[in-house]
Structure 1
Amino acid sequence: MNNPIHILVAEDDSEISRLLCNVIKKSGYIPQPAFSGTEALLYLNQRQWSMLLLDLMLPGMTGEELLQRISGQNDMPVIIISAKGEPQTKVSALRGGADDFITKPFDIEEVSARIDSQLRLYARIAQPVLPNVLQHKGLVLDRDTMSVKADGVELALTAREYEILALLMSSPKKVFTKSNLYENVWHEPFYGDDNTVNVHMSNLRSKLAKGALGSEFIETVWGMGYRLKP
């Protein structure tokens, strides 16, 4: 089962927002409307998104300001949908971090096609070419044999524990939120109940500590999530 696709729709016109959200739903994705730049930024800080549809003329924080704030910080495609269709506006947005630009009024089928196109492109880019054996300090994970050793001691992990560890080791410097972990390991939408992640993470850390004679491999980044300990 593939991970759910969550798309944030930053559009202050309620009718256009509803239209875009309906198109997203029909494509099998999950939309979330935001009616100001400030509201969109709050949503962006709460979870990992698959895509952002962004109007430029938003109340509060404008679309241009929001794009500047998130440039280089979010690994997701951004499609501008705006009535400001002047060439210089398009060039500025694309150079500022947007992946595509659609001018209002738009054809809804074209919007749907461009959403699918950008998601396919990012899916190809995001596929990491990982080595069969991942290593971090004294921790070794073999993807071929599905085995894990901590300082030479082989550990008996459950499938979920193995997947959590493999995810952390695939990006050792990245902080994974509980939402990131749940949606990548359980392949279901995360609705804020973090007990499942907490229990599995606690069990995994306990097994790692016993196998490595007390060494700590995973650290908690308070208020954010988990990562491998540098």
Structure 2
Amino acid sequence: MKQMINILVVEDDNEINQLLCKIIKNSQYEPQPAYSGTEALMYLKKQHWDLVLLDLMLPGMTGEEILENITNRGSTPVIIISAKGEKQTKINSLRSGADDFISKPFDIEEVSARIDSVLRRYKRSIEPSNKVLSHKDIHIDLDQKMVYVNNEEITLTIREYKILVLLMTSPNKVFSKSNLFESVWKEPYHGDDNTVNVHMSNLRNKLSKSNPNEEYIETIWGLGYRMKT
């Protein structure tokens, strides 16, 4: 039986809360709405949560206070979803322990993708070792952080390695440039396409040297990248 993923949605606006819960249900996760900081704290004390979606401007307790409480309690991942989208607010939230920051108004597909991304990163961080990722003739030894293509070891930079692992973890998923940047660089994405483009180009070149007849990563124009089947 598949384990249910429980997500706490802390948002005082009823319509936005319902929309976020709908997004979560559509992704086959289980949402629990909370409409104030005080109510959120009650749920946090009551049980373990796989993820918390957290507004900053809340009645009862502020989102910043809730974030501090979550950080002090353990390693529950948190995505901030707030209208307070100033650069410094985002930086402060990430430095205080948030795993991601989404500004309002938000795009439904982006919210869904970011939830998947944070849950995936968190799952990998607590999984046991001795894991190997494989796609076509690419094999990654996650313990040793070694990459083989066509039975040849290739040398990647840490960023190239992280991009490849992320893509291969969900080979059918399309990752936007913002998904890749924020997952790999651990910083807010401000539209710097060149950084991702250069690393992606270098990664593709290194993969193709070991097997020039194979294409491993495909570009989905206007959307992002995924592993080519």
| TM-score, length basis structure 1 | 0.55
Asked if 1:54 corresponds to 2:16, the answer is no
* Matched AA of 1:80: A
Identity of aligned residues (%): 42
Contact 1:217–1:229 (CA<8 Å) still a contact in 2? yes
Question: What is the aligned length?
Answer: 165
Aligned residues of 2:12 and 2:59 also touching (Cα < 8 A): no
Counterparts of 1:33-182 in structure 2, within 5 Å, are: 53-58=10-15, 63-73=17-27, 80-81=34-35, 105-108=59-62, 111-112=66-67, 116=71, 120-122=75-77, 126-128=122-124, 129=127, 131-182=130-181
Which letter maps to 2:60? F
Gaps of 5+ in 2: 1-6, 40-50, 79-117
Partner of 2:86: none
- Over residues 39-90 of structure 1, what are the superposed CA-to-partner deviations in whole Å (9 max), with x where a residue is unaligned? xxxxxxxxxxx996423444xxx542453245343989875326xx9xxxxx
SS where residue 106 of structure 1 aligns?
coil
The CA deviation string for residues 185-212 of structure 1, in whole angstroms up to 9 with x for no partner, is 2222211111010011011112212211
Report the secondary structure of 1:121's partner residue.
Answer: coil
Larger Rg, first or second structure (1 or 2): 1
- What is the CA–CA distance in structure 2 between the aligned matches of 1:100 and 1:192, rounded to whole Å? 23
Distance 2:201 2:142 in 1: 22
Preserved contact between residue 52 and residue 76 of structure 1 (Cα < 8 Å): no
Gaps of 5+ in 1: 1-49, 86-97
Q: Which amino acid aligns with 2:227?
A: L
In structure 1, give the amino acid aligned to 2:173: K
Alpha-carbon offset, residue 100 of structure 1 = 8.9
Compared with structure 1, are the counterparts of its residues 214 and 121 closer, same or farther at alpha carbon in structure 2 (3 Å cutoff)?
Answer: same
Output the TM-score relative to the length of structure 2: 0.55
